[in-house]
Structure 1
Amino acid sequence: MSLATHPDRLLPADPGTRGIARELLQRVQDLPIISPHGHVDAAVIEQNTPFPDPAALLVTPDHYVTRLIHASGISMDKLQPGNATPREIWRHFCAAWPLFDGTASGYWLRTQFESVFGWRGELSAEKADASFDSISAKLAEPGFRPRELFKDFNIEVLATTDDPLDNLESHRALAEDPSFHSRVLPTFRPDAYINIAHPQWAANVERIISEASDGGSGYRGYLTALENRRRYFVDHGAVSADHGVRTPATLKLEEADAEALFEKARSGQATAHDRDVFEAHMMYQMARMSVEDGLVMTIHPGSYRNHHQPTFEEFGADTGHDIPVATNYTESIRPLLQDFGTAKDFHLVLFTLDETVFSRELAPLAGFYPSVYIGAPWWFLDAPDAMLRFRSAVTETAGFSRSSGFIDDTRAFCSIPARHDASRRIEASFLARLVAEHRISEDRAHELIVDVVDSSPRRVFKL
């Protein structure tokens, strides 16, 4: 029996606890996938575009994969489509396959190869061409289009991540298509319009004021434009606004001070300190807007993006060198929570790349503020052992009801079922241990696993 299809993969080694986990997993194994945060392009689903070659689908867009290959000594240019053929890139990947043993990426990929693409056995340099040809043949099959896989994967809800000025035409088309029975929801992602350090910030601000401010100008027109575009997203099915910030700092400025800082940034005179202050103030404003329009606010902080400047300059962002940094939530988020932490129907989902804040900050915050929910482990932490550490760290203080449900946060469409299956196995394993230790009843564990897998994401993301 292969590793990818073993029925007890990720379940406890102890036979008694494993038996309990098996029954819990069976309870949720066939539930539909709820994916309220991710990065799949809606146009791919709407147009039912055939997937490209194996390298373009599984290697080049996945910074989890390219970063580890690069660390082994393969230069980044050899993993770029413009510099190497798909088959050459795939050969580098297959030669590096042993490097992925024990990693989350290796787990997702191994599961995809067998469960989705029908490739059985380990990859290797010797099998590179054979595996490339086998997967390419699968990609050419009519039944392997995105919409068919959407149905096969049992996805009920898939949220995308979208620019505030996106026309959301693909989302509209999918919502109006009677043959498409799932939901693909847009997500408002305003980072490039809020972070004045972003290279396109000034141009983005001019565009959004010009196109969406109802004739307004300056700082007030800027806020109006953001509010209008948020409403446009709500009208097209959005349930959340996502914020990928450097820190979770929040700050309420007087309007005159905010306006002066805004104009200073537009003139190109803002300092690094000004950047931090303005972003913190805009996070406060985003919370205010969420209270008003009902969008769930999610915060993804704690990444030092583009750590290696030469790689960024040559190959751009999202190429594998974003590195986690320490995160402070308790003090940083307090200004926002003072005014909105108990606001009716405000949902604030807090994520982190810093495991030390799980039990020290996030669980206590979610254990008091009715608005706060704990975001699932993401990025470097969406791995089996890290997910177990997360569940253990937050549950003793906040219980099960204050977590968001699993978030796959992926661009890799074909990895979605593997990721959700892994999460369900981890939840079953954790609950089985509590049952085996006589800390909760088995009946209650069966209720809880349905809640954390299915009910929590629906409740937290207002689905």
Structure 2
Amino acid sequence: MRLSPSPDRLFPADPATRGLARGFYDAVKNAPILSPHGHVDPSILSDDVPFSDPADLLIVPDHYVLRLLHAHGIGLDRLGRGDSDAGAREIWREFAASWHLFAGTPVRFWFEDTLHSVFGLTEHPSSANADEQFDQISAWIAQPSSRPRALFDRFGIEVLATTDDPADTLTAHRALRDDAAFTGRVVPTFRPDRYMDPGNPNWTAALEALHAASGIECSTASGLVHALEDRRAFFQSLGATATDTGVVDAWATRLSSAELERIHRAGLDGSVSPREARAYRAHMLWELARMSSEDGLVMQLHPGVLRSHHRPTLDRFGPDSGHDLPLTTHYTEPLREVLNDFGTNETFRLVLFTVDETSFSRDLAPLAGFYPSVFVGAPWWFLDSPDGIRRFREAVTDSAGFYKTSGFIDDTRAYLSIPARHDVSRRMDAGWLATLVVTGRLGEEEAATIARDLVDGIPRHVFRL
């Protein structure tokens, strides 16, 4: 099968609507990429060394790919995870032979774009051409123009945000800031998840790491809060504009100081109960909102994912190996205390994401449609498909409009997929705007302005870029 993506892909089928969508898209398709939330390792840019091989570049780190192949009985050890002895070429062969499994998925769409526009491949992967394509991509990797910094410029990335632990030294960010040869903007994002749950067996080790990084003793809850505040200031000194928190639910409610310290001590001595751990986590989420209301770091909240659903896979292959799964998630009541305290604070900004799309029109859009501080985050994880993006616009626009949404976030570790992911969003938004024009709900000129704002003005404003 020829690999030749249509220039009109994802646009509406109706010719008149498609023509309008094409015009809106053409005006933004080459706009700089603002990527305010992602998981690319900044050291690939500070070190600027060539990528290793096609499998390590495209397959092994991508949990979207791993989970679907695993669902069809391909063991993760055959895909390079854990103590795998599978070679890069063998991993690529597994992927190529399974190409048909991705039909209709966003993974397929992203890969088609990347394989064609980045590598110049002209055929869909298959068992017959797997070795040839592996060699073609390997030859591409060896070129100086394929190094991470050159691609940063080629892809048109203006801002790239990473995701970083508060105890991180941010060595790569400092190196990039001080390197006159690198003109891009790469900023850290403060991710404090592992300090919030005293029931986690790794919590005390995390406190020790934070103590070492900040110099502030974390044997008390007040000390932990102080240490987190200290590290937030450090992140801001290196360009951070946002934080990110991934929690199982969105409850954010205060405890008394005495109760908070009691639970903190219980966490240290190993006697904390699940109920106490939940209460502690909810208080810490409130504390993070309070900090954002004071220092201006945009608070991103990503609740509703049950991490590492399959314990045997976690034990053998570690986290981020494809078995994190979505939960039903509520926001209106869980965030009431935070929004009563900070929802009209001009410094506070809260971007709410979900993997439960029933919450788009039920909770998120109505909250953003009242509170000045609240913005609806773009479709994330299981929802960042073309159809998920369309359903997002249909669900959110009625209550929140366009200007209380976040702009697109690619949320990816797969560096080479960033342009493809942003392109999907630009195409789908162009199609939705065209639909509003032909149905008389928007004027053509205003729709064109919104198309430009969705890729530039809106994310620049929301994430304080």
TM range (shorter): over 0.9
Contact 2:248 2:304 in 1 (8 A): yes
* Partner Cα distance (1:242, 1:289) in 2: 13
Contact 1:12 1:18 in 2 (8 A): yes
Residues 1:171 and 2:173 aligned together: yes
Residue 286 of structure 1: aligned partner: 288
* Partner Cα distance (1:122, 1:215) in 2: 56
Name the SS for the 1:400 alignment partner.
coil
* Partner Cα distance (2:18, 2:435) in 1: 9
Residue 44 of structure 2: aligned partner: 44
Residue 62 of structure 1: aligned partner: 62
Give the deviation of 1:333 after TM superposition.
Answer: 1.0
AA at the equivalent of 2:65 = V
Residue 390 of structure 2: aligned partner: 388
Contact 1:32 1:155 in 2 (8 A): yes
* Partner Cα distance (1:21, 1:216) in 2: 54
* Partner Cα distance (2:238, 2:180) in 1: 16
Residue 6 of structure 1: aligned partner: 6
Give the deviation of 1:197 after TM superposition.
Answer: 3.7
* Partner Cα distance (1:310, 1:122) in 2: 34
Residue 336 of structure 1: aligned partner: 338
CA RMSD of aligned residues (A): 1.3
In structure 2, the CA distance between the partners of 1:217 and 1:302, relative to structure 1 (3 Å rule), is closer
Which of 402, 417, 431 is 1:400 aligned to? Answer: 402
Contact 1:37 1:160 in 2 (8 A): yes
AA at the equivalent of 1:315 = F
Taking the TM superposition and a 5 Å limit, the aligned residue runs for 1:293-332 are 293-332=295-334
Give the deviation of 1:198 after TM superposition.
Answer: 3.3
Deviations 1:334-392, CA, capped at 9 Å, x for gaps: 11111011111211000000000000110000000000000000111010000000011
AA at the equivalent of 2:176 = L
Give the deviation of 1:213 after TM superposition.
Answer: 4.8
Residue 146 of structure 1: aligned partner: 148
Residues 1:234 and 2:268 aligned together: no
AA at the equivalent of 1:341 = G
Taking the TM superposition and a 5 Å limit, the aligned residue runs for 1:1-400 are 4-80=4-80, 82-214=84-216, 217-400=219-402
Deviations 1:255-286, CA, capped at 9 Å, x for gaps: 11111111111111112212211111100000
AA at the equivalent of 1:361 = D
Q: 5+ residue gaps in structure 1?
A: none
Percent identity for Structure 1 against Structure 2:
52
AA at the equivalent of 1:128 = A
Deviations 1:65-93, CA, capped at 9 Å, x for gaps: 01111111112211125321111111111
* Partner Cα distance (1:243, 1:136) in 2: 37
Contact 1:212 1:224 in 2 (8 A): no
Q: 5+ residue gaps in structure 2?
A: none
Contact 1:261 1:278 in 2 (8 A): yes
Give the deviation of 1:222 after TM superposition.
Answer: 1.1
* Partner Cα distance (1:98, 1:307) in 2: 26
Name the SS for the 1:349 alignment partner.
strand
Normalising by structure 2, we get a TM-score of: 0.97
Give the deviation of 1:26 after TM superposition.
Answer: 1.2
Contact 2:55 2:92 in 1 (8 A): yes
Contact 2:2 2:124 in 1 (8 A): no
Normalising by structure 1, we get a TM-score of: 0.98
Give the deviation of 1:215 after TM superposition.
Answer: 5.5
In structure 2, the CA distance between the partners of 1:271 and 1:4, relative to structure 1 (3 Å rule), is farther
Contact 1:213 1:222 in 2 (8 A): no
The total of aligned residue pairs comes to: 463
Contact 1:209 1:217 in 2 (8 A): no
In structure 2, the CA distance between the partners of 1:211 and 1:131, relative to structure 1 (3 Å rule), is closer
AA at the equivalent of 1:367 = G
In structure 2, the CA distance between the partners of 1:335 and 1:8, relative to structure 1 (3 Å rule), is same
Contact 1:213 1:228 in 2 (8 A): no
Give the deviation of 1:176 after TM superposition.
Answer: 2.0
Deviations 1:92-150, CA, capped at 9 Å, x for gaps: 11111000010000000111001001111111111111111111111111110000000
Which of 411, 418, 421 is 1:419 aligned to? Answer: 421
AA at the equivalent of 2:144 = P
* Partner Cα distance (1:248, 1:322) in 2: 17
More displaced 10-residue stretch of structure 1: 69-78 or 52-61: 69-78
